[in-house]
Chain A
Amino acid sequence: MTTDTATPVRPGTPVRPSEVARPGDRTADRLFATGIRNQWYAVCPSDFVPAGGMKRLTLLGEEWLLFRRADGTLHMLEDRCPHRGARLSLGKHLGDRIACWYHGVQVDGTGTVAAVPGLPGCNLEGKQLVAAPHLVETGGAILAYFGDSTHAEPVPLTLPEQLTDPGTTAFLCYAEWNVNWRYAVENLLDPMHGSFLHRDSHSMAEGQTTARFRIRETERGFFFEKTDQSGVNFDWVELCRTGVDWVDLTIPYPPTAGPGGPFGIVGMATPIDEDRCAVFFWRYRKVTGWQRDTWRFLYRTLLEDRHWEVLEQDRVMLEDLRSDADQAENLYQHDLGVVRVRRMYRTEAEAQATGS
C-alpha cells in the first residue's frame, strides 16, 4: 500500500476533496473501498433538499452539505468551513450561502468565501476554498461529479435514456444499505441470484435454475446475459458507463400488472463510506396514456410494496455478508460478470492511486 503526499492547499485555488489532507485517501485500497473518482454518482433524492433547505450527507467517505436556494438552484459543498474546519452543515442557510456557526464565515454555492464578518476585508474573502462539485438533477435524484485534484472538470455525462425518454415512466426507489458499494454493484452483475434469492417473489418465480452466461461488449459497457433464456426472469444486465456508472435490466411482470411488458430497473450504487452505500433503483416501464396512469396507480397502491420486498431480500443477504466475503470465494461460470466488474474497478483504483 502506498500513501500519497497530500498536495498543499494554496489560497485562491479551488480545492478538491482529495487535496484535504487525510492519510491514505488516495491509495488504491481506499479508492476501491470508498469509490472510484473522476465520474458522476447519484447523491440522494431531489426532495431530500427542499427549497431553502439543507442536507448533510456522507458520500465516498467524505462529508458533504447540500443546500438549495429559494428559486430551486442547488449547491453542494464539502462540509468543512475553510476557516477552522467546522461543519458548514451546522451553520445557517442565508439564501445563496451558508454562514458557519462557529465564526460566521460565509461560503457561497461555488465554495467561495463571500464574507468574513469578524474581519471584513480578510484575505479569505473572494477565494474559492471549498470543494463544490458540479450537479445535475434527473429522475427525481441529484447527481454530482467527484473529481480528484487533476480532474476537477466534470467528464461528459449521458443520462440513462429511461430517465429522459417521455415514452417511459419511472419511480425512484432510494435506500441505504450497510454494505460496501461494490457488493451492491456485484449483486446486479449476478442475474442468477434472481432465480434463487427472489424465487419467492411476484416477478421472479419463473424460469430455469440452471444457465450459461456470456459477456457481450457494447459501446458503453457490456451485457452479462444468459445464453439460453431471455424475458423469463432476471436474465441479463447491461453495465453502462456514460460518465455515471449504472445498470439496466428488465424483469417480466405477471399479467396482473397489465399492458406494457416488463418493468425495467436503472440501478446505481454510490459509496457512503467503506461499510455503507446508497442505492438508487428507478423502476421504469415503457407505457403512455391510460396504461401509464394505470401502472403508476397500481405501483403506488400495490406494486411498490412487492418491489420493496424483493429489494429487502437483497439487502438482508448483502448486509449479512462477511466483510471479507470476497477473500475466500470459489467462483464459477455464473460469476463472470462479478469478476469483470470487480477487475474493472480494481484497475481504475490502481490507476487513480498512481495518477496514471
Chain B
Amino acid sequence: MTSPTHAQYLDPHQSRTAEPTPYEKKLAAEIEEVFGSGAHDLPGLVAGLNARDLPAPDGSPWTEETFRTEMRRLGA
C-alpha cells in the first residue's frame, strides 16, 4: 500500500547524530548505576562515579565542575 515516496518513518534514534562511543555508553551506564543506588544530588553522583572505575576525561577523579562540563558537552 505504501509507495516508495511514502515509506513508513520509523527511526528509533532521533536525538543523536552518531552512535554513542564506548566511553559514552560506559559513562551513561555508570551514571545510571549511581542514580539507582539512590544518590540523586551532585556530590553523591560525583562520589559514586569516583568509587567506580571510570575517571573524568582528563584522567583525574571527577569533580562537580568536570562533571558539569562533561554533561554540558554531551547533553546540550
Contacts and interface: CB of A to CB of B under 8 A. Distances in A.
A258 B8 CA distance: 34
Interface in B13-60: 13-16, 20, 24-25, 27-29, 31-33, 35-36, 38, 40-42, 45
Contact of A292 (B28, B33, B36, B75): B75
Contact of B68 (A275, A278, A293, A298): A293
Interface size class of B (residues with CB under 8 A): 35 or more
A304 B28 contact: no
Contact of A171 (B15, B32, B38, B42): B15
A30 B50 CA distance: 61
A297 B28 contact: yes
Nearest to A272: B6
B38 to A, nearest CB: 6
B32 A302 contact: yes
A330 interface: no
B8 A171 contact: no
A304 B11 CA distance: 11
Interface string A274-305: 01101000000000011011111111111011
B67 A290 contact: yes
A293 B35 contact: no
Contact of A259 (B8, B14, B36, B41): B41
Q: Which of A257, A278, A293, A296 has the most CB of B within 10 A?
A: A293
A171 B76 CA distance: 12
A297 B5 contact: no
B9 A175 contact: yes
B76 A293 contact: yes
Interface in A296-337: 296-302, 304-305, 308, 315
Given A173-B14, A176-B10, A258 B35 contact: yes
Interface residues of A, number: 37
Given A301-B20, A304-B16, A254 B75 contact: no
B71 A294 contact: yes
Contacts of A256: 32-33, 35-36
Nearest to A45: B14
Nearest to B42: A290
A318 to B, nearest CB: 13
B76 A302 contact: no
A290 B15 contact: no
A58 B8 CA distance: 12
A300 B75 contact: yes
A258 B40 contact: yes
A258 B14 contact: no
A166 interface: no
Q: Which of B13, B27, B35, B45 has the most CB of A within 10 A?
A: B35
Contacts of B74: 293, 296-297, 300
A304 B15 contact: yes
Contacts of B31: 258, 294, 297-298
A255 interface: yes
A302 B28 contact: yes
Nearest to B33: A256
23 contacts: A175-B11, A176-B10, A255-B36, A256-B33, A256-B35, A257-B32, A259-B41, A278-B9, A290-B72, A292-B75, A293-B74, A294-B31, A294-B71, A297-B24, A297-B28, A297-B75, A300-B16, A300-B20, A300-B75, A301-B16, A301-B27, A302-B28, A308-B13
Interface of A: 45, 56, 58, 171-176, 178, 254-259, 272, 275-276, 278, 289-290, 292-302, 304-305, 308, 315
Interface of B: 1-2, 5-6, 8-16, 20, 24-25, 27-29, 31-33, 35-36, 38, 40-42, 45, 67-68, 71-72, 74-76
